[in-house]
Amino acid sequence: MLKLGVNIDHVATLREARYRGRGRGEPDPVAAAMQCEAAGALGITAHLREDRRHIQDRDVWQLREVVQTRLNLEMANLPEMVTLALKLKPEIVCLVPERRREVTTEGGLNAARAIRTLTETRKKLNGAGIEVSLFIAPDARQVKAAARIGAQFVELHTGAFAENYFAKAARNEELERLIAAARLAHDTGLKVNAGHGLNYTNLPLLHLVPHLVELNIGHAIVSRAVTAGLGHAVKEMLVLMRKYPG
């Protein structure tokens, strides 16, 4: 069965837009994580960025306390983050590239250029009982580097596939890249996850990619929740307003 990991970063983004630096606020990404698990998600993903633009330290510690399925901590390969992960002990860490000016993670990790440092981090995390995934482009060189590093998983970056979904030739080319990368990863002993830009429209076509274990999806689910759940929220507010005595 293909597993769903829900990325709750965008819930935290909405909270930080109003409550930045206050140590509280709504919506609560931890509460959102619990609702996702109750609905059937088999994993929760949170990216603790160096600049703390959305997920905060308190969030990941609270998530560690309440997540019952699988906590996937996305992070850059930085000493501060490695130290935190070793204390937090999520089930899995996904190492990702991180650029200050990007809105969201724009590309895959260049694992082939950082084999030594990534291997050192992988060994530390594995030594603490934490599995390691590398967020990479669907590229043979990067897949082979991930295998050499000793990662347990790769997460194939599906952004180019998603961006080109409505341009058939380009979409099919990206789909073939994903298929080839997934096969290569599987053949080298890596487990295969995928994510970035997946939504309710493009997901069915991704079923052509073999050996997938888990999809990590965030923005599409949070966006759908805004509309699919908005009517209920308005009705609840109207119930409260009916008590106005004027």
Residues assigned a catalytic role: 47, 74, 196
CA distance 219 to 104: 10
Q: Are 170 and 164 in contact (CB under 8 A)?
A: yes
CA distance 199 to 220: 5
Task: Identify the helix (H) or strand (E) that includes residue 7.
Answer: strand 3-7
Token readout for 197 is: 């830009």
233-238-244-246 Cα dihedral, nearest 10 degrees: 140
Token readout for 168 is: 């058939």
Other C-beta atoms closer than 10 Å to the C-beta of 132 total 24
Q: Are 166 and 174 in contact (CB under 8 A)?
A: no
